[in-house]
Chain A
Amino acid sequence: MSNNNLSVISLVSIGEHPTSRRPRRAEQDARAIELGIKLVGDNLQTLHAGELSDDDSQQTALRSYLGMGLAEINLLEMPENSDAVLVIAEHLKQKKPDIILTGVRAENGESSGMLPYLLAEQLGMAMVTSIAEILSVDEVNKQAEVLQALPRGQRRKLKVDLPFIASVDMAAALPRQSAFGPARRGQFEEILGTSFTDQESSEWQTADAKKRPKRLKIIKAKTAADRFKAATAKASGGGGKVVHGVEESAQAILDLLVEEGLV
């Protein structure tokens, strides 16, 4: 694919290994880079909001994106208690990229998965969630075809107007290996971000997220054969139906809440 004039910016964060909790390249961000390199090659720009940490392991984690063959990562410097969304948005407004790639959610910190949405809102761009691939970009008509990842391996092809933000799903192609040499030699370009103080978060109380408890499947099977069937049966998504109209939607939600005993 030759998309020489396309401007693509990929946002990267420092991830966290699930068992050791050590910093690493975030899995989805790395997939976003992979997707970006495949789309525009060396023209891919990479942005990390934050300064270069003195901590070796943090630096190594950030450098491991460089190890995928990037010449540089732009560091958007901002004071500690800034609102990253606003700082990034301000920076991107000036850059005017055609496509912005992010992960679906960060591997640590708030990990709310809100960043792409908030950016889209700030920048007034379309937002596509959980993409697996960008199939083609038509630069003349300013339109792209993307493949969105849905549960159970399903894919949905979407047409989206440029510019847009896409969050990259784990279903996207595996990121290439990060090599030590290029990681060590890659550069960081520091840019000073505009300062936007995050007033709210300082008042928040934070606690580690807990795994959501799994709902127990109550099986009222009488015979071994029934139990076997229940244990092996594929979860059939029979519960879902397409609802049109605000009234009906609200009713459906309310019904569910009542059914679950929450209202």
Chain B
Amino acid sequence: MSSSEFLSQFLFTLISFALLLMLVGAVKRMLLWSQGQSSTIHWLGLLQIPRRYLVDLHHVVARDKYMSNTHVATAGGFVLSSILIVLLYVFQLKLQILTWALLGSSLLMFVGSIFVMIRRRNPPPNLSLGQWQRLPKSLMVFSLSFFILTLPATGILPSDTGGWLLALLLVAGIIWGIGEMFCGMTWGGPMKHAFAGALHLGLHRRQERFGGGQSTGLKAIDLSSKKLGVEKPIDFKWNQLLSFDACVECGRCENNCPAFAAGQPLNPKKLIQDMVIGMAGGDDAKFAGSPYPGIKVGTHKGGAIIPIVNVLVESDTLWSCTTCRACVDACPMMIEHVDAIVDMRRFETMEKGQTPGKGSEILENLSATDNPNGFAPSTRMNWAADQNLTVFGHNEKKQEVTQADVLLWVGDAAFDMRNQRTLRAMIKLLRAAKVNFAVLGDAECDSGDLARRLGDEATFQRLANSNISTMNKYKFNTIVTADPHAFHCIKNEYGEFGGNYNVMHHTGFFAELVSQQKIKLDNSKELALTYHDPCYLGRYNGEYDAPRFLLESMGVKIKEMDRSKSTARCCGGGGGAPVTDIPGKQRIPDMRMADVIETKAEIVAVACPGCSAMLEGVVEPRPEVKDIAELMLDALIEGVVEDTAEVVVEDMVGGAV
């Protein structure tokens, strides 16, 4: 028997055996996922895997051109090679064309693996080491082995070249390569991401995210269930467990996480890896990436039926998150970190009553007064005592107001002197544009954003239901608000409770008015200005253009920050982070202000009451913080719309109480 005959027979056995082993591993892995709670299985999504991989996933990967090209070569070469290997060596289809194709695909993969190798020579801190440093070598061995193996078959080299020595080397290489690339896929090596990742793309819990869609609202839970929120890994939905397995430890989430950068004990990448440890059982000693700042790696362990918090993950880790979604947006595997974090917070708050910091007080206030700071609900309209606003329902003059074009959602800015300035500016602008609007007055409650993100789903649902039943009493076309958090809640989260409305953020609404010439802005001002994207407007709702359009209509050339639009850094105000107040090395708003100062801007335009509060909290001297509505009011050219005064007076019925 010649060495080439031996190789061909041996490979048949080896590859068949490896495939069998892979299958066993796959079943074991699936059993791990199936420990999770039931959740809709989107079978049709499985058909979409190639498309989602090539379009949606690569759309994210391509933010790093080097890596996306590398991945196309390596993964493309690998997938092609694998198919050809199975055809050639398992099904023994000895077609010349297949051999040539394998030669090409393994070469492609080899080229890709060289770039992986280069990238990993001096890996940036966001990349994991450990087994991930082994991967480029495995890729090379796999591709090179099959490349050399295929050369004689194509006739480029005479058969039996190299004799038994080369044959043995090839056997060794192929065992290594196949072990890593096939068996490792389901037995938990770095290649696990290919198997779990593909299934995760198909069976994703938020199918709407693919094909350019959006799905950012938190999902409601049944408040009468036996356990509220996630205590143990098995309390996650099965498809969440699957999603954790898809992580490639690329650390893009880590690079974008404001809490991590501020030295708070959170690293979204480690969190996802910890969830994997929890699901499969074990400790975190082998984790080879950046730790949670201030917490040593190797000190925690977990298991599928062991509580997570303070065993596997410290509670401070969960409460450091601002729910800014920067991690989710940056994740090439479309993993939903925020869902997981809020799920665990729900258990902490609703089952254990362990919301840290001022959490308990704030939630109690929300229950008793419908606003986080415990102000009397009857004083909600005090800020507008001089505004003569139309209030839905009974007004002072006893005239019933039941409809308006616009419902102006005031939000908790009503109780905050700083943000009352923004509200006043908005009202002047609305009146200048002759918009027919009314407010809910004292009947408005907090949107529930804060409660929900602090894990208090019960209070959120109460507030949501109360707001929905109030709003359903009246007729209006659009809800307009200056608060992106309320905007997001009403737009994306009230739907599950039967509240479906046309909601606009004030920047979107004003952008329409400006383009319709209903508001005219002076565009002669020269302002050194930058714009800070609010997370809940940008990443949560994809609105990056309207605020910029408005600023440009005022003649401003925006000095964009490095981290802007989808990679904008959070101001630190979301997700109840100011309430839980987990200590770090620096404060997130200070970091964001440093980004602003880097652009040499004198003004930072904001579009969220939370952002203005956080950024104005940075010690002076610093650039001025102004809401876009305030800037617009400064630039407003009055009197373009005729008869404004009369119409407004006619519209007004009664006033604020």
Contact = CB atoms under 8 A, between A and B. Distances in A.
Contact of B367 (A24, A69, A181): A24
Interface string B342-383: 000000011111110001100110011110001111110000
A182 interface: yes
B458 interface: yes
Contacts of A22: 368-369
Given A17-B368, A177-B363, A180-B458, A67 B353 contact: yes
A129 interface: no
Interface in B160-175: none
Contacts of A24: 364, 367-368
A177 B228 contact: no
B350 A181 contact: yes
Contacts of B369: 17, 19-20, 22
A179 B456 CA distance: 9
Nearest to B457: A180
B119 to A, nearest CB: 47
Interface in B448-492: 456-459
Contacts of B374: 17, 19
A179 B375 contact: no
B355 A177 contact: yes
B9 to A, nearest CB: 63
- Chain A contact surface mostly: loop
B375 A68 contact: no
A56 to B, nearest CB: 10
Contacts of A67: 353
A20 B377 contact: yes
Contacts of B352: 179
A112 B167 CA distance: 97
Counting contact residues on chain B (CB < 8 A from A), the size range is: 20 to 34
Interface string A154-194: 00000000000000000000001111111010000000000
A8 B367 CA distance: 29
A180 B359 contact: no
26 contacts: A17-B368, A17-B374, A19-B369, A20-B369, A20-B378, A24-B364, A24-B367, A24-B368, A69-B353, A176-B360, A177-B349, A177-B353, A177-B354, A177-B359, A177-B363, A178-B353, A178-B364, A179-B349, A180-B223, A180-B349, A180-B457, A180-B458, A181-B227, A181-B350, A182-B353, A184-B223
Contacts of A17: 368-369, 374
A176 B353 CA distance: 8
- Chain B contact surface mostly: helix
A184 B462 CA distance: 14
Contact of B360 (A69, A177, A182): A177
Given A24-B368, A179-B350, 10 more contacts: A19-B369, A19-B375, A19-B376, A19-B379, A20-B378, A67-B353, A69-B353, A179-B353, A180-B223, A181-B350
A89 B347 CA distance: 40
Contact of A180 (B228, B370, B375, B378): B228
Contacts of B367: 24, 60
B458 A20 contact: no
B376 A20 contact: yes
A81 B208 CA distance: 60
Nearest to B347: A181
Interface residues of A, number: 17
Kindly name the residue among A60, A178, A180, A182 whose own CB sees the greatest number of chain B CB atoms within 10 A.
Answer: A180
A173 to B, nearest CB: 13
Interface in B367-413: 367-370, 374-379
Pairs of residues from A and B, 7 with the lowest C-beta to C-beta distance, nearest first: A179-B353, A19-B376, A177-B353, A177-B360, A17-B368, A180-B458, A180-B350
Nearest to B360: A177
Contacts of A180: 223, 228, 349-350, 456-459
Contacts of B350: 179-181
A179 B359 contact: no
Interface in B311-368: 349-355, 359-360, 363-364, 367-368
B429 to A, nearest CB: 32
Contacts of A184: 223-224
A242 B459 CA distance: 52
A236 B367 CA distance: 40
A178 B361 CA distance: 10
Contacts of B364: 24, 178
B640 to A, nearest CB: 43
B228 A20 contact: no
A182 B351 contact: yes
A60 B458 CA distance: 12
A24 B75 CA distance: 60
Nearest to B367: A24
A166 B67 CA distance: 70
Nearest to B352: A179
A162 to B, nearest CB: 31
A181 B368 contact: no
B248 to A, nearest CB: 36
B314 to A, nearest CB: 18
B309 to A, nearest CB: 14
A20 B370 CA distance: 9
B368 A179 contact: no
B160 to A, nearest CB: 72
Interface string A177-215: 111111010000000000000000000000000000000
Interface string B214-232: 0000000001100110000
A184 B367 CA distance: 15
Contact of B351 (A19, A20, A181): A181
Contacts of B370: 20
A20 B375 CA distance: 8
A68 B459 CA distance: 17
Contacts of B353: 67-69, 176-179, 182
B211 to A, nearest CB: 37
A138 B379 CA distance: 51
A50 B459 CA distance: 26
A17 B223 CA distance: 25
Contact of B228 (A19, A60, A68, A181): A181
Contacts of A181: 227-228, 350-351
A123 to B, nearest CB: 33
Interface in B607-623: none
Nearest to A174: B360
